[in-house]
Amino acid sequence: MDIVIRNIDITTDIQGIRKVHAQDDHWGSDEACFLSQESCLESGFLIQVATLDGKIVGHAEWIISHEPVHRFLYLGILQIHDNYQKTGIGTKMLESGAAYAKENNCTFIRTMPEINTGSVQFYEKNGFAKIEDINCILTVKTQPAPDAKNAIRIDQVPFDVVKTLPLVVGLYQHSSAHVWHIYNHYNGKNMPSFKIGDAYVNISEFDPADKSSEATCWSNQLTPALIAEILAIGYNLGCKYLDFCVLSKDIPCFDTFEYEMSDEHDIFMERCLLA
């Protein structure tokens, strides 16, 4: 098979990428796919496609996450066309990403595989191992806080925050840079952004049905006082509930709040590049 891994050509590859993802609603139109890829490229993503005899059969999105402690390459999407899975194309795309990571002084690759698709076994065969971090989603009712007067509305969370402050809330992707992109640049939309002392916060657009939103926060430390400030922001925006996606070690910070915890957790995997 003549498999070629190359960088995306956004002017010609959109329909091929959509076919790779088949019925996934995220790729439901040429315009939506184009805007998604354009936004990712503007945020510094590496987007690659795999072609077989000129036909696009694979699609991958990578971003370097230079965080306070680590610099690594994060794989946000790896999708192979249904008709070409288990033919070695996915492995070739991983190796292309690994080469890019080494060229850019990343010490490891990180990803978040889907649990029920066999993806975990695929990554294990390609040198990845599960890491101990587990994320938990806590749904907390918003509330006014008379003492919460430190929040300042800002235009956008600065991207430099990714490099200087840990991501403590919003670990839907185990990459601070990827999460920043979703909340501060995706398709040109910025979520409501706030500065609370030395911390930075995003609140997603809420679902009109239940008035729930997601919180994202970069801070040196997650504390009950900071959580109360975030809940007050959500309350003032008209949200009834806020979802806090946090690592399991931070759950005790919510002991003074009433919350419901989702039974679903994500698996994070890493591949070390130091040989």
Q: Answer whether residue 120 is part of any domain.
A: no
Q: What is the pLDDT of residue 275?
A: 64
Residues 73-93, buried b or exposed e (16+ Cβ, 10 A)? bbbbbbbbbeebeebebbebb
Mark which of 77, 111, 145 sits at the end of a domain. 111
CATH code for position 237:
3.40.630
With residue 11 as reference, give the H or E element that holds it. Answer: none
127's tokens: 């040198």
Mean pLDDT of the chain: 91
Q: Are 80 and 20 in contact (CB under 8 A)?
A: yes
Residue 124: inside a domain: no
Task: Return the structure tokens found at 170.
Answer: 């919003």
The verdict on residue 274 lying in a domain is no
Rounded to whole angstroms, the Cα distance separating 182 from 159 reads 12
Q: Is 19 exposed, middle or buried (0-12, 13-18, 19+ CB in 10 A)?
A: middle
Of 75-79, 186-190, 231-235, 267-271, least confident by mean pLDDT is 186-190
Q: How far apart are CA 22 and CA 1, in angstroms?
A: 22
pLDDT in tens, 190-229: 789 999 999 999 999 887 788 899 999 999 999 999 999 9
pLDDT, position 29: 87
Neighbours of 65 (CB within 10 A): 23
For residue 188, pLDDT beyond 70: no
Domain hosting 32: range is 3-111
Mark whether 104 and 141 lie in a shared domain. Answer: no
Residues 106 and 185 in one domain: no
In this structure, are 104 and 162 located in the same domain?
Answer: no
pLDDT, tens digit (0-9, with 9 covering 90-100), for 35-64: 889 999 999 999 999 999 999 999 999 999
What average pLDDT score do residues 15-21 get?
93
| Statement to judge: residues 38 and 99 lie in one domain | yes
Q: CA torsion 50→28→74→244, rounded to 10°?
A: -170
Query: What CATH number should be reported for the domain holding residue 56?
Result: 3.40.630.30
Cβ-contact 122, 87 below 8 angstroms: no
- Find the helix packing angle between 14-21 and 30-42, rounded to 10°: 100
What pLDDT, on the 0 to 100 scale, is given for residue 50?
98
CB atoms within 10 A of CB 121: 10
Of 132, 106, 120, 111, which Cα lies nearest the Cα of 175? 111
| Residue 125, in any domain of the structure | no
Higher pLDDT pick, 110 / 145? 110
pLDDT class for 141, splitting at 50, 70, 90? very high
What CA–CA distance (Å, rounded) separates 212 from 240?
Answer: 6
Rounded-to-integer distance, Cα 224 and Cα 252, Å = 9
Question: Please, are residues 146 and 82 in contact by the beta-carbon 8 Å criterion?
Answer: no
Task: Give the number of other Cβ atoms within 10 Å of residue 42's Cβ.
Answer: 11
pLDDT tens by residue, 96-113: 999 999 999 999 999 999
What's the total number of domains in the chain?
Answer: 2
Final residue of a structural domain among 59, 77, 111: 111
User: Are residues 139 and 255 located together in one domain of the fold?
Assistant: yes
Q: Which of 242, 267, 220, 16 is nearest to 117 (CA)?
A: 267
Average pLDDT over residues 237-242: 93
Q: Where are the beta strands (DSSP E) in 112-197?
A: 129-130, 135-141, 151-154, 167-169, 193-196
Of 268, 269, 214, the residue nearest 245 (C-alpha) = 214
Tell me, yes or no, if the pTM score tops 0.85.
yes
